[in-house]
Amino acid sequence: MLDHSISKAARRALLAPAVIAIAANMTPGAAQAEDSISCIFPFWFGFAPVFVAQEEGYFESEGLTVSTAFDNDRANVLPAMANGSIECTMRTIGESMSRPRQPDTTGTVIGTIDISVGADGVVASQEIQSVEDLIGKTMAGEINHPGTTLIQHALSEKGKSIKDVNIQLIATDDSAAVFEDPNVSAVATWEPMMGSIVKNTSREGAHLLLTSADYEGLITDVIIVRTEDLQENPEKYAKFLRGIYRAIDLYNADPDKFIAISAPAFDVPAAEMKEALAGVKYTSFEESVDYLPSSAGDGKLKEVFDSFNDINVVLDLQNAPLDYQPFVDGSVLDGLFDGQTR
């Protein structure tokens, strides 16, 4: 399991330069039909519905062409979206709110795609039995990692802050090796490394202190599109969302078929993908409607958004709170499948 995780990190590193080159050549209007979308996103199984929608012809049936590439670095993705080289990205709502985003940065959330329900979390040593036990101790992780944000959220509920914890900044892919240091009381990580660390560490009593299952909905991946193009071509993005939610319908009906179709896009065995997806919940069309603002109200994502305004400011990932709307816009979901194939 750990070896697969390392290979994925290597693939991300190899893919990034290629993605920069792809984005540089995706000039607005160059060999792009009106109904085409270029989407760049991190190497993460939660985004597999895009590949399933491609392979099953859902986008094609809408008259939509979708091109994709992997890149985890927002420093590459945001400029490409700003200059019109790409129209779409996907990542957690908390990451999407953090720097270098500013209130006037292009990008509008139009839907959800998945929720982490155990795939992200924190592995702790035996003496750490509660988040409060971390106060004054050393925790290793990336500052904007879901596990780190989970700890800040949990501590804030106790009237504490992650500022009371000694944070050792590391690359998440190094978390297994770092946790072997007895001076490190916990590491923020994700699957499949999270389970592998608990099983294989030499430290007796290592356990999961906190996972995204403890705060379902906090670690939510969203679909973000170029604001200017959304305003000009809303129906194009309706086609994109219909394809994605039809793919999610397939996962809910036949997960093995879904995984068999999408695993090759990630160059991983179907069994590895299936194991990782045990901690992921894809959001159906109806669930996405519940999360985004509509005539019925702000939607469930508003509470998550407000939480990350607090979390990100404390972690110094935002200068100040952002406004929920118009950054989050549920209008494309309104009547999405009315008179349409599902």
Among 137, 141, 126, 124, which Cα is nearest to 164's?
Answer: 137
Whether 170 contacts 178, CB under 8 Å = yes
Q: Output the pTM of the full model.
A: 0.86
pLDDT per position as a tens digit, 264-315: 999 999 999 999 899 999 999 999 999 999 999 999 999 999 999 999 999 9
Q: Using CA atoms, how far apart are residues 295 and 293, in angstroms rounded to an integer?
A: 7
Q: Do domains 2-115+220-333 and 120-215 have the same CATH topology?
A: yes
CATH code: domain 120-215 is: 3.40.190.10
Whether 207 contacts 126, CB under 8 Å = yes
pLDDT per position as a tens digit, 189-225: 998 899 999 999 999 999 999 999 999 999 999 999 9
Instruction: Read off the DSSP letter of residue 328.
Output: B
Sign of CA dihedral 103, 104, 107, 110: positive
Q: Using CA atoms, how far apart are residues 101 and 87, in angstroms rounded to an integer?
A: 16
> What six digits make up the tokens of 24?
């540089």
- The number of residues in the chain equals 342
Domain spans in the chain, listed from the N-terminal domain onward: 2-115+220-333, 120-215
Q: How many CB atoms neighbour CB 143 within 10 A?
A: 16
pLDDT category at 40 given cuts 50, 70, 90 is: very high
**In the prediction, which pLDDT does 64 show?**
97
Q: Using CA atoms, how far apart are residues 339 and 342, in angstroms rounded to an integer?
A: 9
CATH code: domain 2-115+220-333 is: 3.40.190.10
